[in-house]
Amino acid sequence: MSCREGLMSPQTKTKASVGFKAGVKDYKLTYYTPDYETKDTDILAAFRVTPQPGVPPEEARAAVAAESSTGTWTTVWTDGLTSLDRYKGRCYHIEPVAGEESQFIAYVAYPLDLFEEGYVTNMFTSIVGNVFGFKALRALRLGPSYLLHGSHMRFLQSQ
C-alpha cells in the first residue's frame, strides 16, 4: 500500500481564496499593554503599521508585538515552566500617522531576556524576521526610532 492509499495522514486541503481571517488569534488581550512603563533593560522599537482591510487596529498593533516575540512559540506541556510575561513583547503606545487614516506607529518594548546575550543577529532576526510576513498586515516598517543604547550596547558587545 502506498502513502497515497492511506499509510500516511491525508494532506489538509487548502483553498487559495480563503486567505487571512481577521481575529484568528486574539493577541490584544496579552500583547497590548497601554499601562506598561518601559524599563532601562527593554529594547524599544517603533513600527509604522498598515493593517489589512478588516483587521482592527488594536489587533494589528498587538500582533506586531506578539509575532516578533513569543506569539509564534509552539504551545507545549512545558509552557507552565516558563513565564510568558518575562519574555513577551509589549505594544505599550500607539500614535496615528499624520495624513494617513489607516496607518499608525506602534511602540513595542522587548525584554532583554528574550535575546541571547552578545548576538545582535539573534535580536534583529527575532524582531524583524517573522513579523514582516504576517498576513494581517498590509505594510510594516521598522524605525527610524530603533532605540539601542547604554546597557544594551554592553549586552551586545559581551561576546
Whole-model pTM?
A: 0.65
Q: How many domains does the chain have?
A: 1
Q: What is the CATH number of the domain that holds 110?
A: 3.30.70.150
pLDDT of residue 113: 72
Flag whether 44 is in a domain.
yes
Q: Is 9 part of a structural domain of the chain?
A: no
Please give the pLDDT value at position 41: 83
Judge whether 2 lies within some domain.
Answer: no
Domain containing 61 equals: 23-157
Weakly modelled stretches of the chain, pLDDT under 50 = 1-24, 146-159
In a domain, 61, yes or no: yes
DSSP states along the chain: --GGGTTSPPPPP--TTT---TTSS--HHHHB-TTPPP-TTEEEEEEEEEEPTTS-HHHHHHHHHHHTTTTTPPP-GGGGGS-HHHH--EEEEEEEETTEEEEEEEEEEEEGGGS-TT-HHHHHHHHHTTGGG-TTEEEEEE-S--B--THHHHHHH--
For residue 15, the model assigns a pLDDT of: 44
